[in-house]
Structure 1
Amino acid sequence: MWQIIRSRYVRPGLQMIRYRLFEIWRFMAALLIMLYHFGHFAPSDALWVKDGLELLRPLLDLFFIISGFLIFDRYGERVLEARAYGAYLFKRLVRLYPLHLVTLSYFVAVGLAVELGLSNTGGGLDLFQWETLLTNLLLMQGWGLNDNLTFNYVSWSLSGEWLAYLLLPILALAWRIAGLAGLALMTIASYGGLEFLVASGLMPETHWVYADTWGAYRVFADFALGALLAMLARKWPLHSSGSRLAAWIALLVSCMLMTLDISVYVSIAVLALAVYLAALAELVEPERYTYPAFLRPAAAVSFGVYLWHPVTESIFFSYIWNKYLLGAPAGVFFVYVAAVMVITVGVAILSFVLFENRIADRLLVWSGLHKPKGAVSPGL
């Protein structure tokens, strides 16, 4: 199974850095987000889990910073050509959209069951607002067009990723014109734009770190920061064999700053330092693993864990827990949560291997962007 997952990220003939620290960090962040959402169903004496994890909200920005790093590192100097830009967007779409469509379809089915009176559970009636279905289908639900999160509520961040993918040429142009200074200016301007949206009242949040229906602009700012870090690592590769440990320390310090409710910019700055140090570690020792082999399949499917966990939440908490286990003691709740988290990770791995990977490969072959497996290049 690991070889199947690995082949999705490292294709024959491509020399790509795996950035394994990023894999495990994204997986850990996905687990914490899942635990936070499951924690909303906790008994009153266990709600400290949800409340404690609420302080780690800026850790979600780690997803987007890493995404900006990886995407710009791979595509940033190619998307200014129309053909390459189209190919890049298609590759990103076939990676993200099939799973988005499947999980969205689940909530549409539940919503229809509620409408027909067949069910009154499955995620909360406020999720099923049919006027928002189109924006969800178009991956625009995080662009400030909806008042509430609906259907698969976590997909707002996917909407933000899609906006960042679309706007990648702006970052590429800034890099081409002014190099690191151009990317730094775009990053500062993007975070400044978030502050303006909040101060002007256009973004209906007390701080942009809480943005979700307007979260796409938060994603783009983090994406720009990730692009800047990618080019910093390329231009100033301050190689150090100790940077892997330093990266972990920086990540932990950032989390500590979040729990102490220090300025979000300080927390994100330390997060950025952690990402930079992690990149240096991978450049120095690209073949070194930083976590046990049995975690590799799971670490590679953090995206699936993120998108699937509202589905398992709907089944195991909104329905089963609320109907049959409500009122159970905290100990039972934590055992139940652990079991559902394991199930979710298993579903994400199977989804990747049996569905997402196959669909993406077929669409890429159909588009001519990849050759069928076993195909021989001309002249060989």
Structure 2
Amino acid sequence: DLTVVRAFFAAWVFAYHVDLHAQFSGYLGPFAGFIRHGYLGVDGFFMLSGLILAAVHPAKELKGANIARFWGKRLARIYPVHLAVMLILLVIVATGLALGFTPRDAERFTAGSFIANLLLVQGWGVGEHLAWNYPSWSVSTEWAGYLMFPLLWMFLGTWREIIPGQIMVICFAVLGMIAYEAGETLNLTYANALWRFFPEFIIGMATLRLVPLNADFMPNKWLASISLVAIILLTSVSSFDILTVFALWVLLSALAMQADAERPPVIRNPRILRFLGQISYSFYMSFGTIELLLAQLFRQEGWDPAVNKLAYSTAMTILTLALAIALHRLVETPARRLADRWLAAPEPLAVAGQPL
């Protein structure tokens, strides 16, 4: 379930960005808001990240050399694809300039922002503009979360369940205040990204402490179904993003409780959905590059994506999938396997008197 839901979040964000150019959401009538709030898929990723990390890494194991090993593995999961896309963009921009093409947003491709992106700090408030592979602002905030995770989990993972529950309430309250100050939206990137990220990341972590208490007796399938309907309705009738984020949390909690209770998956799990979930990171990191190329092509040919909706949307989908599959197979998977070998915990030494 949690692998498949990654595909949902990535597709939601992707549809939002395609709609910015193709403007197809108007055809959905009263449900157009669901597409226009697709940026909230990132918030789902933030909570899911905290939940998964807390599930995979017990607090008592994150000590000493294990912390450095954890950081190394997390960096190996995100950085190779990020670096590959940055190099692809560098080649595209350099080739375009050599051929006489000037990027429409030249300030997006400065040397300073390139360095910030290479260091994965572009989402830490060092810049206020979209730059290079702009979706990676969220990956930058994830990296900040990875760096802080051992300390946060040492606190959350060792307290009784009531404390994580209280912290979760506080985090939702903070998100509500942030959304209110921002005009009811949580579409905060770059300069304000960490304010959006950390409350949601901590909510995901705290959720794991509460899941075992309710997993066996909660109607998880019903909760997941109701929360999904609520997400669609809330984005259609309300502009207050915190309500949708709460519904996203209910969805993730229901899926996590279903897994904890060792019940059948809530979501039917055909191979194609599992595959899309597995490539979701590469897919998310690919669409910005394809968008840049298609926008340049359509502008060069005098085509308006809002008029040629089907052509633009289809091209974006096919090309983004193609690049994502290539990155997943040629970069992401090999890098992960290599990191797992290099950063594996050392085998314990045999104790004298015991058989090897």
Tell me which interval the TM-score lies in, with the shorter structure as reference length.
Answer: 0.7 to 0.9
Q: CA contact under 8 A between 2:76 and 2:339: conserved in structure 1?
A: yes
1:151-300 correspondence runs (5 A): 151-190=132-171, 205-206=182-183, 209-213=186-190, 214-240=192-218, 242-261=219-238, 263-285=240-262, 288=265, 290-300=268-278
**2:320 is aligned with 1:344:** yes
Q: CA deviation digits over 1:149-203, x for unaligned, max 9?
A: 200000010011111111112321222453333334444555555677789x9xx
1:79, 1:172 within 8 Å by CA — same for their partners in 2?
Answer: no
- Deviation readout 1:87-124 (Å, 9 max, x if unpaired): 11111111100000111222233333455563224x73
Determine the C-alpha separation between the residues in 1 that align with 2:27 and 2:272.
27
Q: Which runs of 5+ in 1 are unaligned?
A: 1-20, 372-378
TM alignment of 1:20-99, pairs within 5 A: 21-42=1-22, 46=24, 48=26, 52=33, 53-78=35-60, 80-99=62-81
Q: How does 1:309-348 map to 2 (within 5 A)?
A: 309-315=287-293, 317-324=294-301, 326-327=303-304, 330=307, 332-348=308-324
Q: Which runs of 5+ in 2 are unaligned?
A: 348-354
C-alpha distance 362-233 of structure 1, shift in aligned 2 (>3 A): same
Q: With structure 1 as the length reference, what TM-score do the two structures score?
A: 0.79
| Cα separation, partners in 2 of 1:262 and 1:368, compared to 1, 3 Å | closer
1:175 and 1:328 mapped to 2: Cα distance?
48
Deviations 1:307-344 (A, max 9, x none): 011112122x22222223614774x4224413431332
C-alpha distance in 2 between matches for 1:368 and 1:170:
22
Instruction: Tell whether the 8 Å contact from 1:142 to 1:215 is kept in structure 2 after alignment.
Output: yes
Query: Offset of 1:291 from its aligned partner?
Result: 2.9
What is the rounded CA distance, in whole Å, between the counterparts of 1:311 and 1:79 in structure 2? 39
Q: Cα gap change, 1:135/1:77 in structure 2, threshold over 3 Å: closer, same or farther?
A: same
Inter-partner Cα distance in structure 2 for 1:40 and 1:125: 20
CA distance in 2, matches of 1:291, 1:323: 42
CA shift at 1:290, angstroms?
Answer: 1.7
The one-letter amino acid of 1:360's match is R
| Distance of aligned partners of 1:57 and 1:351 in 2 relative to their CA distance in 1, 3 Å threshold | closer
Contact 2:10–2:41 (CA under 8 A) maintained in structure 1:
no
Question: Sequence identity of aligned pairs in percent?
Answer: 20
Flag the 1:140–1:291 CA change in 2: closer, same or farther, 3 A: same
Say if 1:24 and 1:299, in contact at 8 Å, map to a contact too.
yes
Counterpart among 85, 97, 102 of residue 84 in structure 2: 102
Q: How far 1:361 sits from its partner (Å)?
A: 1.4
Deviation of 1:252 (Å): 2.2
Deviates more, 1:343-352 or 1:287-296: 287-296
Distance (whole Å) between structure 2 residues aligned to residue 328 and residue 243 of structure 1: 41
In the TM superposition, 1:351-370 aligns within 5 A as 351-369=327-345
Aligned position for 2:352 = none
The count of aligned residue pairs is 343
| Corresponding residue of 1:305 | 283
| Partner residue, 1:374 | none
Conserved in 2, the CA contact under 8 Å of 1:304 and 1:352?
A: yes
Residue identity opposite 1:314 in structure 2: L
Report the CA distance between 1:238 and its aligned residue. Answer: 3.1
How many angstroms apart in 1 are the aligned matches of 2:228 and 2:310?
A: 26
Q: Residues 259 and 76 from structure 1, CA distance in 2 versus in 1: closer, same or farther, beyond 3 angstroms?
A: farther
Taking structure 2 as the reference length, the TM-score comes to 0.84
Residue 171 of structure 1 contacts residue 183 of structure 1 at CA under 8 Å; is this kept in 2? no
Matched AA of 2:14: M
Q: Distance in 2 between matches of 1:142 and 1:64?
A: 14
